[in-house]
Amino acid sequence: MHEIITLQLGQQSNYLATHFWNAQESYFTYSEDQEPAINHDIHWRPGIGADGTETYMPRTVIYDLKGGFGSMAKTNALYNDLEEGQTPQALWNGPTVLQKQPAIPQSAYQQSLDAGLEPPPLTTDTVRYWSDFNRVFYHPRSVVQLNEYELNSSIMPFERYATGEDLFASLDKEHDLLDRDLRPFIEEADQMQGIQVMTGLDDAWGGFAAKYLERIRDEYGKTAMFVWGSEQESVMRAGGLSREKRLLRLANKARTMTEVYKYASVVVPFTVPATLPGSVVLDAGSQWHNTALSAAAIESVTLPSRLRDPANRDTMGTLADTLNAMGKQNVASLGMSFAPEPTEEEDVVMEGTQDFRQRQLLNQKSSRHAAVMAKENPEGVFLDINFTPTDQLDYVRRRGGGDDDRPRVFSQVLTSRGYEVDEQAQEAKEAEEDERFRRRSSYETVMRSYHTPLRFPLLDSFPQIFRDDSGEPLKRGGAINVTSSLSTDASVHKRLKSLRTTVGRSIGLEDREQLGNELAEMADEYHEGWSSGSDDGDDD
């Protein structure tokens, strides 16, 4: 079955994961004649609910701070047979302490879902927590609230790397978190293909994640682990953080990266870029909006790990091996392009017009079948949206440039969804395997492409951030064609060196040399030409 277990660490990651799970839930088919494109057993665990009906719930463990779960209760309609005050025994068999706090009322959207009614449209005002737009049920064992810290507390902020390390150490010493929370999901899997971790990189969750990953790697030495590390550059750009706080976040990231790098198969730092194409309009201050865009890219690029189609299916381990083709290059960049698929009626109306021709040119240029794009761009495909953080203390808008500004790509995984599969695409896909082996042996860019006709769904829980050719929001209930990529490239070298210089003087003397050396060693793995003997004369 090749199951994937998910770890969700913190508020930002839970927003991201909620979009991910809502999309997975939408792929279920309820007709015996229709086989789904997705193998649901990979991310969903079957079971029996309180009323004896068959259920499917995500294979995930969700950590958040006190107050972070919003109106979501530990039990739900599928597991509601507990007496008042009783704790689900799957979570903890020892003595319990009852902690009560004012209940957060359900949003109108959640009330409508529970009543089986059509929910009202969501807005940035009505989405207060990630649970406000959640469409799935979780097993009580998945929900883990950490009461030691409160969400958005100004008295005890959860914002330093060391704070996350210390919290994990104290909880793990008392409860053995891996044994209590994660191992039950792993042991019920037939043949686990990997673990994906969604976490913050630039706050205390980075320290928590680093210690958790160390424990997992000790127990499961050969398991593929993907780390999706979110950063909040949008807050920094909006001027919501002082220079001191921005420096703290970058120092947190530096520490997290050097530790996570040791244990993860692939690490993907990402943030919503300041420069977006005109077809994307979002509220930079809304976590619901920001994580929706990131989720569209992440959910799309990971499709090969759960597709049924054997020609376009691969494990997390294979994807990691492709990206890490040249050595210890496991820090990857995330990219995405999208194109709305016009209806037949729209094509008839627009055919022969300038807008129609422009749309055809746009689709040909930026978003097509992945195998064709890989063949026509053997040195790497650069998509419209680059989620790579700038790692700058004083934010400078990333310049869009021509080919001269593009870094050397070492390896790339490219996934397209929804685009037409023609003869050219089939020929490109057939020739790709032999070409990949040749390119690997000659130290050229290694590429692997995947394709599925399954388009990305625009659910009623997803914000209307995508626009059509006329600038109007795409309607909920539709779907879009998406091309997304993961790449390892030479730009990591420059960013890590810059990060080392920026945070060096803010780190205590006892840690400065070690952290600086580790960042320099990581950077050398991405030096163009793969030379690890040069430090560019940077000893700061």
Task: Identify whether the C-beta of residue 186 lies closer than 8 Å to the C-beta of residue 103.
Answer: no
The pLDDT > 90 percentage for the chain reads 59
Mean pLDDT of 34-56: 84
The pLDDT of residue 536 is above 50: no
Residue 325, pLDDT score: 78
> pLDDT value at position 373?
83
Q: Which amino acid is present at 531?
A: S
pLDDT value for 506? 79
pLDDT at residue 355 greater than cutoff 60:
no
- Contacts of residue 1, defined as CB under 8 A and 6 or more positions apart, other chains included, come to 39, 41, 42, 189, 190, 191
**pLDDT of 79 over the 50 cut:** yes
507 pLDDT above the threshold of 60: yes
Higher pLDDT, 63 or 364: 63
Confidence grade of residue 415 (pLDDT, cut at 50, 70, 90) = very high
Whether the predicted pLDDT of 384 surpasses 80: yes
Q: Taking residues 312-338, what's their average pLDDT? A: 91
DSSP state string for 101-131: -PPPPPPHHHHHHHHT-PPPPP-TTT--SGG
> What homologous superfamily is domain 1-80+102-335+383-393+407-412+487-523 in, according to CATH?
Tubulin/FtsZ, GTPase domain (3.40.50.1440)
Q: pLDDT tens digit string along 270-283?
A: 999 988 999 999 99
pLDDT (tens digit, 9 = 90+) per residue, 187-239? Answer: 999 999 999 999 999 999 999 999 999 999 999 999 999 999 999 876 666 55
Look up residue 124 and give its DSSP letter.
T
Sign of the dihedral through C-alpha 414, 269, 396, 406? negative
Phi/psi of residue 419, each to 5°?
A: -80, 155
> What's the confidence (pLDDT) of residue 345?
43
Distances from the Cα of 349 to the Cαs of 356, 359, 363, 383, 476, in angstroms?
A: 9, 13, 18, 29, 22
Q: According to the model, what pLDDT value does residue 71 have?
A: 87
Averaged over 100-108, what is the pLDDT?
80
- The pLDDT, as a whole number, for residue 363 is 44
- Residue 427's pLDDT is 65
Indicate the pLDDT class of residue 320, thresholds 50, 70 and 90: very high
Q: Of 294, 235, 206, give the one whose Cα is nearest residue 15.
A: 294
What average pLDDT does the chain have? 84
Look at residue 431 in the predicted model and tell me its pLDDT: 66
Which pair of tokens denotes residue 225?
């682990």
Q: Compare 14 and 76 and report the one with higher pLDDT.
A: 14
CA distance 201 to 247: 13
- The confidence score (pLDDT) of residue 30 equals 76
pLDDT of 164 reads: 97
The pLDDT score that the predictor gives to residue 179 is 96
Question: Is residue 31 scored above 90 in pLDDT?
Answer: no
Helix/strand/coil for 205: helix
Q: What is the pLDDT of residues 244-269, one digit of tens each?
A: 888 999 999 999 999 999 999 999 99
Share of the chain above pLDDT 70, in %: 79
Res. 372 pLDDT band, cuts 50 70 90: confident
Asked if pLDDT for residue 349 goes beyond 50, the answer is: no
pLDDT at 527: 81
Lowest mean pLDDT among 74-78, 358-362, 430-434: 358-362
pLDDT over threshold 70, residue 76? no
Amino acid at 408: R
Instruction: State mean pLDDT over 485-510.
Output: 89
Are residues 55 and 45 in contact, defined by beta-carbon separation less than 8 angstroms?
Answer: no
Radius of gyration of the chain (CA): 23
Name the pLDDT band for 393 (thresholds 50, 70, 90). confident
**pLDDT at residue 350 in the model:** 40
Rounded to an integer, the average pLDDT of 408-420 is 90
Which of 173, 153, 107 is CA-nearest to residue 11?
153
Is pTM beyond 0.85 here?
A: yes
Structure tokens given for 215? 């424990």
Contact yes or no for 16/449 (Cβ under 8 A): no
pLDDT at position 236: 61
Comparing 16-20, 52-56, 304-308, 314-318, the range with the smallest average pLDDT is 52-56
- pLDDT (0 to 100) of residue 54: 77
| Closest by Cα among 41, 35, 38, 36 to 2 | 41
CA dist., res. 133 & res. 463, Å (int): 10
Res 316: pLDDT: 96
As a whole number, mean pLDDT of residues 89-105 equals: 59
Q: Considering only 107-111, 325-329, 341-345, which range has the smallest mean pLDDT?
A: 341-345
Q: What are the structure tokens assigned to 118, written together?
A: 């059509």
The sign of the CA dihedral 234, 239, 241, 244 is positive
